[in-house]
Amino acid sequence: MTTDGLEGINVSTEQRKPGYLQQSDAVRERFAKIRQREVILEVKQLGKTYHSTQGEVVALRDVNFSIHRRELVCVIGPSGCGKSTLIRMLAGLEPHTSGEVLLDGKPVDGPGSDRGMVFQGYTLFPWLTVKKNVMFGPEMNNRGKLEAERDALMWLDLVGLGKFADAYPHQLSGGMKQRVAIARALVNQPRILLMDEPFGALDAQTRTKMQTHLLDIWKNVDITILFITHDLDEAIFLADRILVLKAHPGEVQEFIEVPVPRPRYPGQSVSEEFLATKARLEELIHPPVQTNDADEVKPHMIRFTNVVDNVE
């Protein structure tokens, strides 16, 4: 405890920090334990420049971070800041221009079954049943048909779709399709699950259910997750830490430890820690607009010919 110069009032160092940096003892201990775990993913000085007919676009510059085993990290940032570029490079689907990506200490230089991907678009094969969709990866990796089928059914059970094994993708709702996509990624036993706005196309209610569902799955599986979203509530609800990127060029702005305790539940969204974290994210993603006259009608505005008024 340190005093603040105020007679009779003791203010701890923890209380002096801005709200989103204040952590309860349990949360602080949890982060200390996470930091002791092995590093699964290491991103060093990563950069990406696209060359197109419009010229060069520096999508990402000098991105550095690491993720520990079984951490759930969310990435947020304004549209176009390079989130999808980052995840595609981690997946090995896009070459990087500079720096390196290490998974379990080994450089990533192409796609591999050690990384599972789930995208926003529904990417199931429409001509295959749910079970066959999930079996596809193991069969490609030469696991026997029986083993592939057993594993597919186990993962479908885990995502709550055991009864839909023989259905076709068009018979499923959006949320169910994404659950199959998660099963299809996990059946290959990846080291990390890379998710690019996987719930972005779902309605608000289904989205909330899927978030809880993902946490339930994560609770039972030794898997590290990198999850991209533009939804601040989703990021705070899911993440251990949130990587905030800024745009043009995409750079790391801050890597925030979420002070909201686990287990998470929707009611926490009105807790002090949650709101303080959200306020910080808002500040980083949507800095305050300088002008206060945005609602006025100005002479230089484009005006429609059917509008008659006396603005000078």
Ligand X SMILES: Nc1ncnc2c1ncn2[C@@H]1O[C@H](COP(=O)(O)OP(=O)(O)OP(=O)(O)O)[C@@H](O)[C@H]1O
Candidate residues 11, 33, 80, 272; the one interacting with ligand X per rule CB under 6 A: 80
Rounded to the nearest angstrom, the gap between the alpha carbon of residue 186 and the centroid of all alpha carbons in its chain is 17
In angstroms, the CA 312 to CA 147 distance is 77
In angstroms, the CA 89 to CA 115 distance is 11
Site string for ligand X, 82-111 (x = CB under 6 A): xxxx--------------------------
In angstroms, the CA 85 to CA 114 distance is 19
Number of residues that bind ligand X (CB under 6 A): 13
In angstroms, the CA 311 to CA 298 distance is 7
Q: Which stretch binds Mg ion (CB under 5 A): 75-83, 199-207, 249-257, 293-301?
A: 75-83
CB 210 within 8 A of CB 178: yes
Who contacts 65 (Cβ-Cβ below 8 Å, separation ≥6)? 43, 243, 252, 255
Residue 59 interacting with ligand X (CB under 6 A)? yes
Helices marked H in the chain: 13-16, 25-36, 83-91, 130-140, 145-158, 174-186, 204-220, 232-238, 272-285
Candidate residues 50, 122, 218, 255; the one interacting with ligand X per rule CB under 6 A: 50
Candidate residues 66, 84, 97, 189; the one interacting with Mg ion per rule CB under 5 A: 84
Residue 74 interacting with ligand X (CB under 6 A)? no
Site string for ligand X, 7-46 (x = CB under 6 A): ----------------------------------------
**Rounded least distance, CB 120 to ligand X, Å:** 9
Whether the bond into 95 is cis, omega within 30 of 0: no
Nearer to Mg ion, 68 or 83 (CB): 83
Choose from ligand X, Mg ion, none: what does 52 bind? Cβ within 5-8 Å by kind: ligand X
Opening angle at CA 202, ends 196 and 204, nearest 5: 115
User: Which 229-268 residues touch ligand X, going by CB under 6 A?
Assistant: 230
Candidate residues 8, 36, 38, 52; the one interacting with ligand X per rule CB under 6 A: 52
Give contact residues for ligand X (rule: CB under 6 A).
50, 52, 57, 59, 77, 79-85, 230
Site for Mg ion, rule CB under 5 A = 83-84
